[in-house]
Amino acid sequence: MTSEAVGPTPAATIRQRASEVHALQDIAVDRRTPLEAPVLAEKAVVGDAPEIHRLIQYWFEATGDVLPRTEGEIYETIRDFVVVRDPSGDRLLAAGALHVEWRDLAEIKSLVVDPGTQGKGLGRIVVDACLDEAVDMGLKTVFALTTTPAFFERLGFRISGVSAFPRKVWNECFRCPKYNACDEIAVTIDLRDRFTT
Ligand SMILES: CC(C)(COP(=O)(O)OP(=O)(O)OC[C@H]1O[C@@H](n2cnc3c(N)ncnc32)[C@H](O)[C@@H]1OP(=O)(O)O)[C@@H](O)C(=O)NCCC(=O)NCCS
């Protein structure tokens, strides 16, 4: 058996590889900026999967701030997702997923806001909805791996080390294309601090 040399994986290579794997042609995102009416987070339905996928792919291609997901992966985990819809109901403005990792631990994943509606509180709405759901489920801690820790800190998360989440490392990080060149920072929130006062 030959051993394959493993070295740092350049982001461009990661993106190229994912583009080939996912064979995505259209990552155009509507840049209209509405928000003339209040919006709410709600649980995703299966029909949201293509739009969720499009937003994730947009950000993966544009900045690499989220990891790519196949449309199939999104259908498989659709019950993890919350979404924010345009008040007219015809498109998604934001999405994010709460994924249970263990009896007391969940992760916020695939958090994406339409680029035309950033900075309007939609990311906060999605994260708050995920945290509410986590509390309802009896979870004590929620974490995220992110390139934008400052956003999560504004929402009450604290920076921690990914080594605090060994199951995550064993279950998923080892299969991640960024494993040898990870640029994500772990942030965590103790839900007992947030919701029991
Ligand atoms: C990061 C992202 C989810 C933030 O969503 P958003 O709707 O633009 O942010 P919000 O308007 O809800 O901001 C909430 C707070 O965080 C702050 N904030 C938002 N983005 C920030 C950033 N990049 N750095 C620091 N603070 C940030 C806002 O100023 C606001 O603070 P305030 O309440 O004190 O005014 C969104 O910009 C996005 O989808 N980015 C690309 C994908 C990505 O990075 N996803 C996260 C990967 S885990």
Q: Which residue has the higher pLDDT, 164 or 63?
A: 63
| pLDDT for residue 87 | 84
Res. 74: pLDDT tops 50: yes
| pLDDT for residue 146 | 94
Average pLDDT over residues 76-85: 97
> Which DSSP letter does residue 6 get?
-
User: 76 CA distance to ligand 1 centroid (A)?
Assistant: 26
Q: Which residue has the higher pLDDT, 92 or 192?
A: 92
Check: CB of residue 52 under 8 Å from CB of residue 110: yes
Q: How far apart are CA 180 and CA 197, in angstroms?
A: 41
Q: How far apart are CA 18 and CA 22, in angstroms?
A: 6
Q: What is the pLDDT of residues 174-189, one digit of tens each?
A: 677 777 777 788 999 9
Q: What is the pLDDT of residues 109-141, one digit of tens each?
A: 999 999 999 999 999 999 999 999 999 999 999
Q: How far apart are CA 17 and CA 109, in angstroms?
A: 21
pLDDT band at 6 (very low <50, low <70, confident <90, very high): very low
Q: How far apart are CA 138 and CA 136, in angstroms?
A: 6
112: Cβ below 6 Å to ligand 1? yes
62: Cβ below 6 Å to ligand 1? no
- Closest ligand 1 atom number to CA of residue 124: 12
Average pLDDT over residues 48-77: 96
Res. 15: pLDDT tops 60: no
pLDDT band at 46 (very low <50, low <70, confident <90, very high): very high
Res. 39: pLDDT tops 60: yes
59: Cβ below 6 Å to ligand 1? yes
Res. 8: pLDDT tops 70: no
Percent of the chain with pLDDT over 90: 59
Report angle CA 45, 49, 53 to the nearest 5 degrees: 150
**What would the two tokens of residue 109 be?**
């994943």
118: Cβ below 6 Å to ligand 1? yes
What domains lie within the chain, and their CATH numbers?
11-26+39-195 (3.40.630.30)
144: Cβ below 6 Å to ligand 1? yes
Nearest CA among 123, 29, 130, 22 for reference residue 68: 22
Check: CB of residue 11 under 8 Å from CB of residue 64: yes
